[in-house]
Amino acid sequence: MNIIIVGCGKVGYTLVEQLGSENHNIVIIDEKPEKVQYITDRLDVISVVGNGINHQILLDAGIETADLLIAVTGDDEKNLLCCVVARKTGHCQTIARVRNPIYNGEMNFLRHELGLAMIINPELIAANEISRVFQFPSAIRVDSFAKGHIELLHFRVGAGSPLIGLKLYTLPQTLHTSVLVCTAIRGEDVIIPNGSFEFQENDIIAIVAQRHKAIEFFRKIGIMKNRVGNAILAGGGKISYYLAKILLHSGIRVTIIEIDPARCETLSELLPDATIICGDATDQDLLSQEGLENAQGFAALTGLDEENILLSLYANTVSRAKTVTKVNRITFNSVINDLNLGSVIYPKIITADYILKYVRSRNNSRGSGVETLYKLAGGKAEALEFIIKPDSPLIGIPLQELHFRKNTLIGCIYRSGKVILPTGQDRIQAGDSVLVVLSGYHISDIREALEG
């Protein structure tokens, strides 16, 4: 595809990196020459310096032959207007990043009236991801598929875990529970395990299971935690606002600590059921006064990565809270992953993954379409959900006869309200949601996961 990206911030860079690796033709636009130079020095991309709203700049970038324009500048209104001008100038699909909460209730209206393919709100997406972790705190990450009916749950094998030294093929007989192990992250390596795989301490394991089966599994390996009943959010930005709304709606008590008095006043008006504390979230005395030692959930969501990392490390030393750490920089993720930060959320990567899912879905063949996509292990593996169309050639064939490529696993089939952990004898049917986990290659259609 021919893709134009307007905005060369962290999200723009991540998009260029991911989309460029999948052989798309990328042109970037930004008003700041130093940002454009930074990307062109590191990635193979064509650049135009200028305002993405400008008709001539869009023409210079090739809007007349573009398939997709993605506007991810720091200005919501500029992103929307850029998409409108692009639609009038060319014939491409458009995606806008819109972050201001005042637009949140109007997303569908704006998308329809302005003819956008997608409006994406990174803070809302991040808040939804954090809320899933607080709903299931035994996991360090929860990826949702089939409109929430299937979940891929990630957890770390801790010291003394009964899993250590266990071969995967013995898991059902040893623990008498039904889960499917999809991936294992060990250091820098990602493994799509077979039966001979042996669990080791500090492995990060991803499983697919029905909710009650997952609860039973976590209980048997000694890391079962109930849903959090209260949470402290450090920082009162957009993510905290969206997250507090979700948690309060679920009956979870919320305390937000924010240093800016004006923002505290705004949050008090927007979130009357939350406790808003005006103060410095890095003040240990204040954290103690607000009950950090007894908190069940803690999310470090300030605007500074360093603050968030220190806050989560401190919270883990003084409490048993489920911790979530927001990180904006994505260049030191290998170091960050070695720290005891609980669940780590990268809003920029989440945003890029959502957009990448749309691009893949546009590229799909006739037999299936990408419904959901998650990058795993820093992009070394992927979990994708495909909706099987009636004309798919995979329908009705036992899975053991389909000859999937190496490092590929069919993780789950969701059919008419039923979750199926597949065996070799199971067959895919039209309308199924099929979860595929793979490593080492990319696909836009489930047929691309087959050999030959």
194-198-203 Cα angle (round to 5):
100
Q: Which of 146, 215, 205, 144 shows the shortest CA–CA distance to 180?
A: 205
Helix H or strand E segment including 322: strand 322-326
| Superfamily of domain 356-449, CATH level 4 | Regulator of K+ conductance, C-terminal domain (3.30.70.1450)
The pLDDT of residue 356: 86
Integer Cα distance of 439 and 430 in angstroms: 25
Q: Encoding tokens for residue 211?
A: 């909710």
Residue 366: both structure tokens together: 């006739």
Q: Which tens digit of pLDDT belongs to each residue from 384-418? A: 999 998 988 899 999 999 999 999 999 999 999 89
CA dist 269 and 46 (Å) reads 46
**Gap between the Cα atoms of 129 and 312, Å rounded:** 17
C-beta neighbour count of 370 within 10 angstroms: 23
What integer pLDDT is reported at residue 366 of this predicted model? 52
Per residue in 276-298, is it b (16+ CB within 10 Å) or e — as a string? bbbbbbbeeeebeebebeebbbb
Query: Is the separation of the CB atoms in 325 and 341 below 8 Å?
Result: yes
Query: Domain spanning 127-220: which CATH class is it, in words?
Result: alpha beta
What three-state secondary structure class fits 403?
A: coil
| The domains spanning 2-120 and 230-345 adopt the same CATH topology | yes
The domain 2-120 is placed in CATH, from the list 3.40.50.720, 3.40.50.300, 3.40.50.150, 3.20.20.70, at 3.40.50.720
- Residue-level pLDDT at 65: 94
pLDDT along the chain (452 residues), means of 10: 93 89 91 94 93 95 95 95 92 93 88 92 93 92 86 91 94 89 90 93 91 88 89 97 96 97 97 97 96 96 94 95 89 70 87 86 65 83 91 92 93 92 93 93 89 78
Task: State the pLDDT at residue 252.
Answer: 96
Of 179, 287, 113, nearest in space to 299 by CA: 287
List the chain domain ranges.
2-120, 127-220, 230-345, 356-449
Query: CA-to-CA distance for 16 and 354, rounded, in angstroms?
Result: 14
pLDDT tens digits for range 261-319: 999 999 999 999 999 999 999 999 999 999 999 999 999 999 999 999 999 999 999 99
- Residue 377 in tokens: 């292990």
Backbone torsions φ then ψ of 166, nearest 5 degrees: -85, 135
pTM for this prediction:
0.87
The token pair at 186 is 């060990």
Tell me if 80 sits within 8 A of 52, measured CB to CB: no
Architecture of domain 230-345: 3-Layer(aba) Sandwich (3.40)
Read out DSSP for 303-321?
A: S-HHHHHHHHHHHHHH--P
CA distance 355 to 213: 32
Distance CA 338, CA 409 (A): 27
166 close to 217: Cβ distance less than 8 angstroms = no
What is the Cα–Cα distance from 41 to 38, expressed in whole angstroms? 5
Residue with tokens 């050639």: 393
Per-residue confidence (pLDDT) for residue 368, from 0 to 100: 61
Q: Which pair of structure tokens corresponds to residue 13?
A: 């860079």
State residue 357's pLDDT score. 84
Contact indicator for 406, 437 with CB cutoff of 8 Å: no
